Structure 1
C-alpha cells in the first residue's frame, strides 16, 4: 500500500504510556505523539482542514498566496500543503520563536518575515498586523487566521478526538493540552465530552497569558500580560477557537519548569518533543492531587524537539536565563574568586597619547572605552600601533577614531565554556554586569585562576 501524497499520512498518531517522568502521578498517563505527522506537529491536521474549507468556499483560488501569522508549526503544515496544492506562502512570526522553526519554513520555500514580540497585537509592527496588511496588499491572497478560523477546532473534532476515544477504548478520563490558538483542546475536548460528559478537559497556560484569569473570573486583565519564553501556548488576546465552556480549568506553568520538563521528557522517556509538551507535563504534575489511580489521562505532545535545539536543548541558553544551575563554573563564580579591583576605562574623547600612557602605567593591553558612562568600544595596544604606523599624527586624536567593537557582554549565569569561546585574538576579555549593576571584566587569567583555585 502507498499514499498518493504526503498529506494523506497526517493523523493516526500513536498513544504511548509514560513510565518514568510521571512517577508519583496517580493513574495511567498516555502521551499522544503528534510528532509522527509529516510536518512533525499536530498543526498539520488543522492546516490542511483550513485550506480545504477555503478551497470549497472559494476564498482560496488556484495559484493563490497563503499569508499567515505563525510561530512555525502551523506554517509548516500550510507550506507542506501549499507545495502539494500549488500555492505560495508568506509567513509572519515573532523574534521569540526558535531559529530552527524559521529555517524550517524557509526550507519549504516560504517567505518568512520576523516581527517584534513585545508589542500589542494591534501595533502595526506585530506579526498579526503585518500579516493582515500583506493580505490586503498581495493580489489573490488568503489569510487562514488560525486563531479565529473555526476549521482549526473542527479538524480536531473530526480527527484527534475520535482517535483518542478509539485508542483508549473510551476509557479516557482526563485530557491535558497546552493552549495557544485553542483549536486542539476545544475541538478534541468537545468530541470527548459528547462521548462522555464526565471527561475533564485541562488547559495548560503560561505566566504572562490571559487565559487562566479569564476562565476563572470572566475578566480580560491586561495587567496579566507580559513577555514570556514558553513557546506555543498562552496568548495576550482571546482567540475564537478557545471554547471556555469545554475547558474545565487552566493551570499556569513557569517558563523554567516548562523548559526543564521538556528536556526531562527526552532524557527519561526517550521522546523528543517541544516546549509545550514540557509545559503540559509540568501542569499535570502540579494537578496530580486531582487524580485517582483508576484515571486514564491523555496528554498532547504537540511538536518535535528538533525545533528547540538552540533553546530548551541548549545548556548555555538555559544558564543565561538562570534555568540551569549545575557544578560548572559560571561568570558569577569566576567573579567570586577574582580579586576585587576597579575596572579601568577611558572616555572616548581622551587622546590616543593618553591611552598609550594608561596602557604603559597600568601594564594592560586592552581597555574598555566609555561615552557618558556607557561602554561603547575598546582600545588595544595592537590598534594603537597599527593606527600610528599608518598616521603618526593620530597621537592627539580622540580614541573614538581608532577604537574597535566593545568586549562581548555575558550574563552572570553564562558557563565557563561559553566565556572561553568568546575570548580570542580580537577579545582578550568579556564584560559582565554584577548583581549590583556594576560592570566587571573577566580575562583569560581570571578563568585560569578560577579553575586552579
Structure 2
C-alpha cells in the first residue's frame, strides 16, 4: 500500500503508555504522539482542514498566497500542504520562537517575517497585525487566522477526538493538552463529551497568559499578561477556538518547570518532544491529586524536540535563564570517574626496600603509610631518592623512618578547585573516604581525567 501524497499520512498517530516519569500517579497515563505527522506536529491536522475548507468556500483560490501568524508548527502544516497544492506562503512570527522553527519553514519555500514579542496584539508591529496588513496588501492572498477559524477545532472534532476514543476503547477519563489557539483541546473535548460527558478536559496554561483566570472568574485581566518563554501555549487575548465551556480546568506551569520537564521526558521515556509537552507533563504531575487508580489520562504530545535544540535542549540557554545552575565538580565526581581499584598502602614497619619494590612493580609514585590500618604518613619517590642519596643503607630501615606527613584528607563534597589548590609539588595527592568507608587517593591525573571525561 502507498499514499498518493504526504498529506494522506496526516493523523492516526500512535498512543504510548508513560512509565517512569509518571510513576507517582495511580492512573494510566498515555501519550498521544503527534510527531508522527509529516510536519512533526499536531498542527498538520488543522492546517490541512483550514485550507480545504477555504478552497471549498472560494476564499483560497488557485495560485494564491497563504499568510498567517504562527509560532512555527501551524506554519509547517500550511507550508507542507501549500507545496502539494501549489500555494505560496508568508508567515509572521515572534522573536521568542526558536531559530530551528524558522529554518524549517524556509526549507519548504516559505517567507518568514520575525516580529517583536513584547507588544500588544493591536500594535502594528505585532505578528498578528503584520499578517493582517500583508493580507490586505498581497493580491490573491488568504489568512487562515488559526485563532478564530473554527476549522481548527473542527479538525480535532473529526479526527483527534475519535482516534483517542477508539485507541482507549472508550476508557479515557481525562485529556490534558496545552492551550494556545484552543483548537486542539476544544475540538477533542466536544467529540469526547458527546460520547461521555463525565470525561474531564484539562488545559495547560502558562504564567503570563490570561486563560486560567478568565475561566475561573470570567474576568479578562490585563495585569495577568507579561512576557513568558514557553512556546505554543497561553495567549494575551481570547481566541474563538478556546471553548471555555468544554475545558473543565486550567493548570498553570512555570517556564522553568516546562523547560526542565521537556528534557526529562527524553531522558526517562525516550520520547523527543517539544516545549509544550514539558508543560503538559509538569501540569499532570501538579494535578496528580485529581487522578485515581483506574483512570485513563491521555496527554497530547504536540510536536518534536528538534525544534528546540537551541533552547530547552541546550545547557547554555538554560543556564543563561537561571533554569539550571553551574555545578562545581567535587571529590565525589572525581572518584566516580576513576577505575575501580583498591588503594595501595604500606605498613610503617615494612622496609624502605619493600616500598621501592612496590613502587616499581605497580608503577606508582607515592604510597600512604599505615599503622594498624590507619593512615599516619606517606612515602614518595622523592622521599626515597633523597634518603638514599644521604644514606644508601636506609633500604633496610622501616618505612616510618623516612615517611613524611600524610596526604590531607578531604570530604566527598570538596570542590575540584579546592582540591587542585591542595595538590602541588610538595603534596602530590589527597585522600578521601567514600560512602562505604573505603579510602581513595586523588592525584592530578585523576582531576584531569574527571574534567575531560
| TM-score, shorter chain, exceeding 0.5 | yes
Give the Cα separation in 2 of the matches to 1:328 and 1:298.
40
Give the Cα separation in 1 of the matches to 2:120 and 2:23.
41
Residue in 2 that maps onto 1:282: 282
Residue in 2 that maps onto 1:149: 149
Residue in 2 that maps onto 1:45: 45
Which consecutive aligned stretches of 4+ in structure 1 deviate over 2 angstroms post-superposition?
A: none
Give the Cα separation in 1 of the matches to 2:22 and 2:318.
23
Give the Cα separation in 2 of the matches to 1:209 and 1:22.
26
Deviations 1:343-376 (A, max 9, x none): xxxxxxxxxxxxxxxxxxxxxxxxxxxxxxxxxx
Residue in 2 that maps onto 1:226: 226
Deviations 1:255-307 (A, max 9, x none): 00000000000000000000000000000100000110110000000000000
Q: How does 1:22-37 map to 2 (within 5 A)?
A: 22-37=22-37
Please give the secondary structure, in 2, of the residue aligned with 1:21.
helix
TM-score scaled to structure 2, two decimals?
Answer: 0.72
Give the Cα separation in 1 of the matches to 2:100 and 2:185.
26
Aligned residues: 331
Residue in 1 that maps onto 2:98: 98
Residue in 2 that maps onto 1:181: 181
Give the Cα separation in 1 of the matches to 2:319 and 2:101.
22
Residue in 1 that maps onto 2:16: 16
Give the Cα separation in 1 of the matches to 2:93 and 2:328.
35
Residue in 1 that maps onto 2:313: 313
Q: How does 1:345-364 map to 2 (within 5 A)?
A: none
Residue in 1 that maps onto 2:160: 160
Give the Cα separation in 1 of the matches to 2:292 and 2:151.
35
Please give the secondary structure, in 1, of the residue aligned with 2:277.
helix
Give the Cα separation in 2 of the matches to 1:253 and 1:176.
13
- Give the deviation of 1:328 after TM superposition: 4.1
Please give the secondary structure, in 2, of the residue aligned with 1:175.
strand
- Give the deviation of 1:26 after TM superposition: 1.6
Give the Cα separation in 2 of the matches to 1:158 and 1:145.
19
Please give the secondary structure, in 2, of the residue aligned with 1:61.
coil
Larger Rg: 2
Please give the secondary structure, in 1, of the residue aligned with 2:20.
coil
Give the Cα separation in 2 of the matches to 1:50 and 1:26.
39
Give the Cα separation in 1 of the matches to 2:299 and 2:40.
17
Q: How does 1:2-401 map to 2 (within 5 A)?
A: 2-328=2-328
- Give the deviation of 1:326 after TM superposition: 4.5
Structure 1 unaligned blocks of 5 or more: 330-450
Deviations 1:424-445 (A, max 9, x none): xxxxxxxxxxxxxxxxxxxxxx
Give the Cα separation in 1 of the matches to 2:58 and 2:311.
40
- Give the deviation of 1:325 after TM superposition: 2.2
